[in-house]
Structure formats: C-alpha cells, structure tokens
A and B are shown apart, each in its own frame.
Chain A
Amino acid sequence: MSVIEVTDASFDGFVGAKYAVVDCWAPWCGPCRRIAPIIEKLAEISAGEIAVGKLLVDSNPATSRKYNITAIPTILVFKNGKLEGQIVGLNPGLTAESLKDTVLEM
C-alpha cells in the first residue's frame, strides 16, 4: 500500500476508517522530508489495518485550521474518525513500527 494524498475535501472520509494516520507536511520543510520514509514504511507494514495519508498544509488550510496545526511535520492519528493523537516535530525514537504499535493500541 502506498501513502494516499488527502485534501480538505477528502479528509473526513479518509479519517473515518477504523484507524487512520495523516502526515501534514510541505515540500520546503526539511524535517518533513525525514518523516516521509517512516510514513511510507508505515503504509507498507500496516496495509489493510491503518489508512495512511499525507496532507499538503498550504493547499489545504481548512484542515490545518480545524486541528490547530501551527508546526510541521504534524502526524494526526484517528480512530473511527475521532482524533486520538497528534505528534508534532521530529521525535528521535520514532519508527514506522513504533508508530504502528501506538496507533493500534489506541
């Protein structure tokens, strides 16, 4: 499974899955480029279990506003459409595996 491009329009539908993770990013954000491989790997190892998406913040301001995002990268974690977690910035211990465990234990 690859990472799905999510927009303001498709957001609510996307996060309605049992488990969903959305990586909010922008191309000129260095730390975002470092999170990207982790998100890609998460999509790979959690295919069928977690819906994994990414949202370009500049083109999708409504979602950024709704979730009060003021720093990227921000990873939003949803369970059945409800926001359960928000991870801001680079977290040295973060791996695709640890993120998967965190999400599924929510």
Chain B
Amino acid sequence: MISADVLIIGAGPAGLQAAIHAARKKVSVVLVGKTENSALAGTHIENYLGIPGKADGSEILRVGSGQAEGFGCRMLRENVISAARKDGGFEIMTENDTAIKARAVILATGISRVKLGVPGEKELFGKGVSYCAACDGNFYKGKTVAIIGGETESAASAELMTAYASKVYWVAKDIAASERMIRKAADAGAETVRASAKAIIGEDKVTALELDDGTVLSLDGVFIELGARSSADLAMDLDVMPEMDDSIKVDSSCFTGTDGIYACGDVTGKPWQLAKAVGQGAVAGTSAAEWVRNNVSE
C-alpha cells in the first residue's frame, strides 16, 4: 500500500503542473498516469507563452515529468481502474493492483476520446454498438460480441463479457493492458484479435465487424472501450457528479465541491488548451496541498 497526501490522476500537463505545485508545498505527492496517452503527446504547440516556434508536446511532457519527480513527486506509469472513499480519505486501485491511500485527489484525466470514428458506429449505436460492457452485457446472453480497445479497461470488459456471451473477441492492435488482465481475459476464453476495426456492419442491427486486415467477424454486438476508466466514472466513484457533457465543474480554486477532490485541465471543460491546463494545474496542486495541511491532523 502506497500513501500520499495528494494523489493526482493523469500525466498530462495539468497533472504534472499540479504535481509540481503540490510537491513544493511540502506534502507527499503521487501521480498515476501515462504521459504517452496525454492529448499533448505527439503534437506541436505554437501558442504557449514564451516558447517560440513549434514546441514538441512529447518533449514538454518528458521534461515536465522530470521536473515533477525532481520536486519529490512519485510517478506510477499506469492507469487507475477504480477509486473510492475510505477512512475519511480515498483509496485508488491501479491496473497492476497497486492500492494507493490518499487524503486529497486531483482529477487531471483530460477528455476521454470514446468514439472509434468508423462507418456504422453512429448509425448502429443502441442497435448492437455499446460503450459500456458493464451496463449492456446482459443483453448479449448466448451471443457473439467483440470488445475494441487495447487498455486494461477493454481487457476487463472482454473478461466480463465471457460470463454472458457465447463467443468474445478482444480486438486490439496495440495492447497496453496490464499482464494480469490480459491473462484473465484469455483464461476466461476471450479470443485476442490483433487488428483495428474498419467498419461496423448491419442494417437495423449489428451483424458483423470488418477489420483492417480484411477479416470480417460475424457477430451481434460491438463494445467500444478505447481508453482508461473514464473521468466521469472515476468522478462518480468519488461522489462527484459530472456534467452531462462529461466535464467536471470546479470553482476558481479548482475545487469540485466534494471535500478533498480537485480537478484541472481539459477535464474541467473548454477551452482545451495547454495554457489553461497548466494554469489550472498550478491552482489545483496548490489548493489540494493547502487543504491537506489545513484539514488533516497528523
């Protein structure tokens, strides 16, 4: 079990800046997240104050991670799969089964990109296309389904669906799920298909899934679970109700209205910009550290 005064979920610019500001306030800080999944990774930024030309987003993240660690933040390069209130604080579980106890939590999870963007996806939503295996699994008893996505969440959904469906394909080109969950999905009988989805096929309900290698899988349901556990789900785990557009409302101190929980960056809504992520990160890191110092007796 790891303990932290301030736990930050998300390794984008908002989370990293929050880590720097919280750590400088002399509280213990742990950050969980994968920088390579930040919206900034692989982009070029031309509108950030004081940085001329096209700044390399991945480089900003690399240098920023080093700065956060330099100020004493501990970094875990993995995803959070669940969060809960516990003993007056919070307990977070990661995909590799690490439990982290924290006094304050900062959600810096960015925007979840849930849509696959392939033909048939929009038209067949609710007619065999679903974004939540936990919600809709029960409708596919004895049927054939595919789960699309390479992270631990999708492997967990593939495992879950084996309890309902008679045949489960786990379709993932690049696999980033934890070894433990990959094994569990395979042991439960899910068949891994290393390909990308190209089109979802069906007239008034899903009948097949076409893959980029030309294969066509006949099936009844397609579950799209692209990223890590969503900000909206994590927020609800922590008694914070997201807005209908999935953003999390905060006040000027980045406080969510639920004791000990702060949010910053793209997850708080538009504008989705580096400058705002960094600015709110500084505010959230400072606010969370101050809250811990003022509210927790040693």
Contact = CB atoms under 8 A, between A and B. Distances in A.
The yes or no verdict on A and B being binding partners is yes
B139 A28 contact: no
B206 to A, nearest CB: 9
A49 B140 CA distance: 36
Nearest to A73: B135
A70 B202 CA distance: 15
A69 interface: yes
B244 A94 contact: yes
A60 to B, nearest CB: 12
A70 B244 contact: no
B242 interface: yes
Interface string A70-96: 111010000000000010111111100
B132 interface: yes
Nearest to A70: B139
B126 A92 contact: no
Nearest to A93: B244
Contacts of B233: 30
Contacts of A18: none
Contacts of A71: 125-126, 129-130, 132, 135-136, 139
Nearest to A57: B138
B127 A68 contact: yes
Contacts of A30: 132, 134-135, 232-233, 236
Contacts of B246: 90, 92
Interface of B: 125-132, 134-136, 138-140, 205, 221, 232-233, 236, 241-242, 244-246
A26 B134 CA distance: 10
A103 interface: no
Contacts of A33: 236
A29 B135 contact: yes
A58 B139 CA distance: 9
B127 A32 contact: no
A92 B135 contact: no
A71 B245 CA distance: 19
B126 A28 contact: no
A34 B126 contact: no
A15 B130 CA distance: 26
Given A26-B135, A30-B232, 19 more contacts: A28-B134, A33-B236, A34-B232, A34-B236, A34-B241, A57-B138, A69-B139, A70-B128, A70-B130, A70-B205, A70-B221, A71-B126, A71-B130, A71-B139, A86-B126, A88-B125, A89-B131, A90-B244, A90-B246
A34 B242 contact: yes
A16 interface: no
Nearest to B128: A70
Contacts of A29: 132, 134-135
A91 B243 CA distance: 11
A15 to B, nearest CB: 19
Question: Which of A29, A68, A71, A94 has most B Cβ within 10 Å?
Answer: A71
A35 B136 CA distance: 16
A88 B126 contact: yes
Contacts of A26: 135, 138
A70 B245 contact: no
Question: Which of B134, B138, B205, B246 has most A Cβ within 10 Å?
Answer: B138
Contact of A89 (B125, B140, B241): B125
Nearest to A28: B134
Contacts of A90: 244, 246
A72 to B, nearest CB: 5
B122 to A, nearest CB: 11
B34 to A, nearest CB: 22
A59 to B, nearest CB: 11
B236 A70 contact: no
